[in-house]
Amino acid sequence: MNEVTRTARAGGRGARRAMRSAPDFEMLPALKRGIPECEVMDQSRVEQIDNASMSILEEVGVIFRDEIALADWKRAGAKVEGERVYLDRGLVRELISTIPSDWTYRARNPEKSLPFGGKHSIFVPMTGAPFLRDLDDVRRWPTIADLNMFHKLSHMSPALHSTAHHIVEPMDMKVSHRHLHITYSSMKHSDKTFMGMTTSGKNAEDVMAMCEILFGKDVMEETPVTTGNCNGNSPLVWDETMLSAMRAFVKRRQPVLCSPFVLGGANTPASVAPAVAQLNAEALSALAYTQVIRKGAPAIYGHYLSTVSMKSGAPMAGTPEISLMNFMIGQMARYYNVPWRTSNLLGGAKTFDAQAGYESAMTMNAVLHAGANYIWHSAGWNEAGMHCSVAKFVVDAEMCQMGYRMAEGPRWDDFDEAMAAVRDVGPGGHYLGHPHTLENFERAFFMPKLFDNNSIEQWQAEGSVEITQRALDRARQLLADYEEPKLDEGVNEALLDYIARREREIPAVDELNTEH
């Protein structure tokens, strides 16, 4: 936190003026939500979902396609038949009770460390896009330079608290080596927190080793420095790839998102409440396993939610059922007292068009009112995640600022001053020149940089520039203003040495590394 920001947060008129003159890419603190959660279930319905999920775990079971996990579950007292594990609800409740309800994420820059859990939420960009729409709005394969660019944009976006990891897939690098360069890009181009690759157990071990170089083993024992994601194969399957990566993270006390991958109506029942019951069972089985690996390790109730078009089979975003499921999952996570993850600003549009905006806004509103903690896929997502759009990325980042402001709730610190202004102005007057207005107009109402609210005459006089072009111009300006937060020279050298060594040890092939 710079001195201007520190002074501004202390309060006062002069401080607020200083805040307005500070760089607009200063990272916002973790969002502390000041609005109530939307709860669509009463307690009896919460307990009904819980009971249904526990019955699934006890009577249907969950497949763990991993010999180590099966042995771990046997030692923990679960019933194991082949690859199917049957989990007693008492065992599940005992295990998940040891998951911390909150913690602090340590960033490379300690002033960008983040309280997490409870009322605190963070926004994280999208990941995993095999294509991008670039600075010329051309859809193409991404390169490592494109990934670097997105990490720089993440660094300069105030409401993005993380650089994620492979926002786009660097297709110019061998698959077996990508995770090393993705991790280095996250570490080099920003000093915010980031995500760690979990594409295989070996890859996850490399991420942990690089985090030890950056932060130190002792720091990682004390507090999380990164986040992994482990996707389940719905219905009711966890595979070796994800479970081996989970073990690598959890053994070092680094949290993973335990994320069933839900395509509602395809791999869950075609009904909201039963789909949530299945998802809840899947998430609980993985959350419980984190505590078998290491008791007391942090973990996050995760999911990826989509509904499936019964016409085409394609995944859909922004549908009302997804909002309802988010509300319900938020209630279940709070019932178990664990932090939870959701997906934000999703859409299926092929370009940055009205559909993209409507779907994204629908999703964000539900996510914020559902009370999610780890708000992933918060910038860039389009075409059902098949591409990351530069234009949408910067607009989404501003949308996160607007969502942040809404979810903070009303401010009361200038209430007496404003009420005094009512007496000063009186009936029939106006507030435009009043000292309170002049002091507070920038702070009182969010003023988007990328949305045009001028008259049509002024818009036409300025070139009739639509939002996609405004966003691309904004991205170019951000990149021109970017200043790299330099890594310590010794740390940087150690990271590059590690990458070079591992590239010698891992064959350069277009396959995930699972052996070396």
Query: Which residues, including other chains, have CB under 8 Å from residue 439's CB and lie 6 or more apart?
Result: 13, 16, 17
1-10 confidence digits (pLDDT tens): 444 344 444 4
Residue 371 has pLDDT above 50, yes or no: yes
pLDDT at 12 over 60: no
Select from 285, 286, 283, 216 the least CA-distant residue to 252.
216
pLDDT tens digits, one per residue of 297-329: 999 999 998 888 878 878 888 889 999 999 999
* pLDDT mean over 32-41: 97
- Residue (of 322, 446, 410) closest to 372 by Cα position: 322
Q: How far is CA 376 from CA 168, 228, 487, in A?
A: 14, 12, 26
pTM metric for this prediction: 0.94
Residue 56 has pLDDT above 70, yes or no: yes
Spatial distance between the Cα atoms of 134 and 48, rounded to a whole number of angstroms: 47
Distance CA 247, CA 75 (A): 16
CA dihedral 85, 511, 491, 296 (to 10 degrees): 0
pLDDT at site 498 = 98
Which single residue is written with the structure tokens 């964000």? Answer: 364
Q: 62 forms bridges with which residues in the sheet?
A: 85
Two tokens, residue 289: 């396993």
**Residue 350 burial by CB count (10 A; 0-12/13-18/19+): exposed, middle or buried?**
middle
Contact 18, 150 (CB under 8 A): no
**Which positions ≥6 away from 219 have C-beta within 8 Å?**
106, 225
Task: Quickly tell me which residue has 């109506």 as its tokens.
Answer: 265
| CA neighbor of 142 nearest in space, from 348, 349, 389 | 389
Beta pairing partners, 64: 238
Q: For the residues 198-204, what does the mean pLDDT come to?
A: 98
Taking 60 as the threshold, does the pLDDT of residue 361 lie above it?
Answer: yes
What is the pLDDT at residue 3? 40
Counting residues of the chain whose pLDDT is more than 90, the rounded percentage is 88
User: Tens digits of per-residue pLDDT, 466-513?
Assistant: 999 999 999 999 999 999 999 999 999 999 999 999 999 999 999 999
Tell me: the pLDDT tens digits for 104-120? 999 999 999 999 999 99
**Is 70 exceeded by the pLDDT of residue 122?**
yes
Q: Name the one residue in this structure whose structure tokens are 């950056």.
A: 214
Under 8 Å CB-to-CB from 368, ≥6 apart: which residues? 33, 35, 403, 406, 407
The 8-class DSSP code of residue 385 comes to: G
The Cα–Cα gap between 254 and 50 comes to 27
Distance CA 82, CA 64 (A): 9
Note the pLDDT tens digit of each residue in 237-276. Answer: 999 999 999 999 999 999 999 999 888 888 988 899 999 9
Output DSSP code: residue 111.
Answer: G
pLDDT of residue 262: 86
Give residue 2's pLDDT. 45
- How many other β-carbons are positioned within 10 Å of the β-carbon of residue 294? 16
Cite the DSSP H helix spans in 77-228. 89-96, 144-155, 175-189, 201-215, 217-222
Quick one: three-class SS letters along 236-284?
A: CEEEHHHHHHHHHHHCCCCCEEEEEEEEECCCCCCCHHHHHHHHHHHHH
Coil, helix or strand at residue 341: strand
Whole-angstrom distance, CA of residue 220 vs CA of residue 218 = 5
d(CA 61, CA 422): 64
**What are the beta bridge partners of residue 239?**
65
Mean pLDDT of the chain: 94
Q: pLDDT digit string (tens) for 57-100?
A: 999 999 999 999 999 999 999 999 999 999 999 999 999 999 99
CA atoms within 13 A on the CB side of 302: 26
Spatial CA neighbour of 128 closest among 145, 107, 148, 142: 142
CB 273 within 8 A of CB 328: yes
342 neighbors 372 (Cβ within 8 angstroms): yes
Q: Over the stretch 446-456, which tens digit does the pLDDT of each residue have?
A: 989 999 999 99
Tell me, what's the pLDDT at 9?
42
pLDDT at 81: 98
Does residue 328 sit in helix, strand or coil? helix
Banded model confidence at residue 330, pLDDT cuts 50, 70, 90? very high
Q: What is the pLDDT of residues 374-419, one digit of tens each?
A: 999 999 999 999 999 999 999 999 999 999 999 999 999 999 999 9
